Amino acid sequence: MGTREEYVEGDNAASQIPSSTGRKELANARKEIVVPDLGLGGALHTVSSWLVRTGDAVVAADEIVEITAMEVTVLISSPVSGIVTNRFVREDDVVRVGQVLGSIDEVLE
């Protein structure tokens, strides 16, 4: 296998996002989107599809990425509400349990 260039998309999140109740300010906390242990055996999974782009606003528990493991597709949810700031892997990349897929800048309520 050849060496693959690291893929990073993003890191230019908006400083604020509007809400119906006013404005929400971004916190300084950047949360990682991590491949969970799915309990299916095997440590390698494939990124099937990103459901968000960098710069998108997400709410905690929004589905943000699909991964496939042992012919089972699983949706990974956002760990926090905020702005997607990075995607470190592409669709069809093979990833390991615990690998960081991307990051989200958390929004304070």
Tell whether 2 is covered by a domain. no
Find the domain containing 23 and state its range: 9-107
Residue 36 DSSP class = -
Tell whether 3 is covered by a domain. no
Phi, psi of 44 (to 5 degrees): -105, 135
Tell whether 4 is covered by a domain. no
State pTM to two decimals. Answer: 0.74
Give the model's pLDDT for residue 24: 55
Tell whether 25 is covered by a domain. yes
Q: What CATH number is given to the structural domain containing 43?
A: 2.40.50.100
Query: Kind and range of the H or E element at 103?
Result: strand 100-107
Bridge partners, 16 (sequence order): 25
Number of structural domains the chain divides into:
1
Tell whether 89 is covered by a domain. yes
Write out pLDDT tens, residues 36-71.
Answer: 988 877 789 999 999 999 999 999 999 999 999 888
